[in-house]
Structure 1
Amino acid sequence: MIRMSLRQFRVQALVGAILLVLAATYLIQLGGDIRAVRDPSQLQSQYGQTMLFLATGFGLVPALVGAFWGAPLIARELETGTHRLVWNQSVSRRHWLAVKLTVLGLASMAVAGTLSALLTWAAGPVDQVADDRFSAILFGARGVVPIGYAAFGFTFGAITGLLIRRTLPAMALVFLAVVVVQFAIPNLLRPHYMPAERVTVAMSADTINQARSLGSITGGPVVGGLQIPDAWVTDTSKFLTSDGRQLSDAAFNECLDNAPKTGATGTFGDTAACLGKLDLHVDLAYQPNQRFWPFQWIELGLYLGFSALLAAVGLWRVQRRVS
């Protein structure tokens, strides 16, 4: 059964092996070039965009694995009827599906793990300088979590193909769904894996000028992009007055639209100077960078748990409902 699964998978395996060798060759060369830079302060400017591009591309690997390895795995056999050849022999349906999920799922995890290890090594000096490993894109392309992503993408693809029983619709649905999940998890779940640390930050003009944005679509008194050294800021309150109440929209908009002309410099100039005189502060929630690896293992376990649940659903479904 294992040999048959591998033989049926040989074309995908060959394509995957070729791409893996090409990617490994590039990453090894890239890692060597990065380590040849003598001034670490230049790493971010020289390779920051490259790392972002690679992480974005790497983020599509689970969706591609799910769409091109997982979705056709069962759906194609159900479409062509070749599953009946196996089921009419001594192999049970559950055993047939379990072997396919295990063998090819492990292959998907091995590919993702190899790529992640190489990228983590190559990007190491840049990550150390940038100190931004918790960002939504970079976090998912480092450490052990890509292994979980690949397991989830493959299993979700295979079970979706089992349920839909049509290859092309399953491929399209899986690709989109995996991308949506990878967008949702960092924003909805990841900030809450461990209780956040909290700190109150006074909003002087200088501090406001360090932010990336002021205001919102609805005109609320918010500030965005504040940072804490060696930490990932997960939540920022609205501007608060000295007595803990939210700054009124009217007061905020007055500084935003009609700030006195003082000739102040900085990103927000006179607006920052105006707000800085109001004795404001914000409450920040953050995760220290030292939690990077605990978060990695938590998210790996989360995705492996999702994969196991999907596999259990598939094993139940194939025994009871698939004819």
Structure 2
Amino acid sequence: MTWLTWRQFRASALAGLAGLTLLAAYLVHLGLAVRRDHDAYLSRCHSGGDCGRALAQFLGEYQNTLLYLAGLLALVPAALGMFWGAPLVARELEAGTHRLVWNQSVTRTRWFTVKLLVVGLAAMAVAGLASALLTWAASPVDRLAGDRFSTIVFGARNLAPVAYAAFAFSLGTVIGLLVRRTLPAMALTAVAFAIVQFVLPNVVRPHLMPPVTVSRPMTAAAINEARGLGSITGAPVVKGLSVPDAWVSDVSELLTADGRPLATDRFDRCFQDPPATGATGTFGDAAVCLGGLDLHVVLSYQPNHRYWMFQFLESGIYLTLSGLLAGFGRWQVRRRVT
């Protein structure tokens, strides 16, 4: 049964190996270049140069490239689910070839289990190798940038891509088992996986561990550190506040000294028509106006030292879902498929 599964899967496996080889060659080249430039950056700092400017140049040279690669790696589990998982059983059911195997000495549950394990482990290996190479190539940049919790970066490093691949493959296999047609199963797998990948990082991940919560005064200087003011709805919010060595998961609206949200009309007056003071900074007079209102925000954040705990917790969720899907698939094959 294992040999038969390999014979059916070998074309897809060779295509995946070819793609992984090309990606590996590029990532090794990129990793060596990153380390060469990282050493140059350190030498400039140690020799008394402008460390801040050197750091900005080093990060600016590689951050966008690594972000694109992280986005590409995020597509790998989805592709494995679509092209390896969805056709795994759906193609057999669609063509009726499953009946031939079941009329031999192989039980239907063994047939399903072997196919799931052989191809599923291969999918996890592909995602794991790609993740390991990207993690190695990007490690000097990640250490200096300190943004490992960002949605795209977190999902493209270390353990998470392996768990994503296991889930995407199991999801595609079960959808193919239920739909029994290859192309619809591939499309549904892509949609379902995209929904889960949006919900878990944005809704579930911030609550995997209780955040640290602090109150931060919003002086003019603090407001000028933000990346944005206001929102589409006109709410009195400050966007893009940061905490050193931490992932900010939530920021409240601007609050007055008694803890109430700042009135929208007062925010609009400062934001749209502040008194002229000649102040400089990102938000100039608006920051001075808001800074004089004795405002604060409540920040919730996760310290960077919790990164590996989040990797384990989120990977555990995806692997648990994969196991549940596999168990459901075995039950479906044994009880429902004819």
**TM-score bin (small chain):** over 0.9
1:38-83 Cα offsets, whole Å, 9 max, x none, are 1151321110100110001111111100000100111111111110
| Aligned residue among 275, 287, 301 for 1:272 | 287
Matched, 1:208 2:223: yes
Matched, 1:27 2:27: yes
Give the Å deviation of 1:200.
0.9
Q: Distance in 1 between matches of 2:64 and 2:174?
A: 36
Q: Distance in 1 between matches of 2:127 and 2:274?
A: 53
1:98-136 Cα offsets, whole Å, 9 max, x none, are 111111111101111111111000000010111100000
Q: Secondary structure at the match of 1:78?
A: helix
Could you tell me which amino acid in structure 1 is paired with residue 30 of structure 2? L
Aligned to 2:52: none
CA contact (8 A) 1:233 1:284 kept: yes
Structure 2 alignment gaps of length 5 or more: 43-54
Aligned to 2:123: 108
Matched, 1:39 2:41: yes
Structure 1 alignment gaps of length 5 or more: none
Q: Secondary structure at the match of 1:36?
A: helix
Q: Distance in 2 between matches of 1:67 and 1:99?
A: 19
Could you tell me which amino acid in structure 2 is paired with residue 27 of structure 1? L
> Which residues of 2 match residues 1-323 of structure 1 at below 5 A?
1-37=1-37, 38-39=40-41, 41=55, 42-323=57-338
Give the Å deviation of 1:296.
0.4
Q: Distance in 1 between matches of 2:29 and 2:130?
A: 14
**In angstroms, what is the RMSD of aligned CA positions?**
0.9
1:155-178 Cα offsets, whole Å, 9 max, x none, are 100110000001001111111221
Q: Distance in 2 between matches of 1:96 and 1:115?
A: 29
Q: Percent identity?
A: 59
CA contact (8 A) 1:211 1:223 kept: yes
**Which runs of 4 or more aligned residues in structure 1 lie more than 4 Å from their structure 2 counterparts after TM superposition?**
none
1:148-204 Cα offsets, whole Å, 9 max, x none, are 000001110011000000100111111122122112211001111111001111101
Q: Distance in 2 between matches of 1:110 and 1:214?
A: 44
Q: Distance in 1 between matches of 2:32 and 2:185?
A: 40
Aligned to 2:45: none
Q: Distance in 2 between matches of 1:92 and 1:132?
A: 49
Q: Distance in 2 between matches of 1:93 and 1:137?
A: 39
Q: Distance in 2 between matches of 1:3 and 1:263?
A: 77
Give the Å deviation of 1:20.
0.8
Could you tell me which amino acid in structure 2 is paired with residue 253 of structure 1? D
Q: Distance in 2 between matches of 1:92 and 1:116?
A: 36
Q: How many residues align?
A: 323
Q: Distance in 2 between matches of 1:172 and 1:64?
A: 11
CA contact (8 A) 1:159 1:310 kept: yes
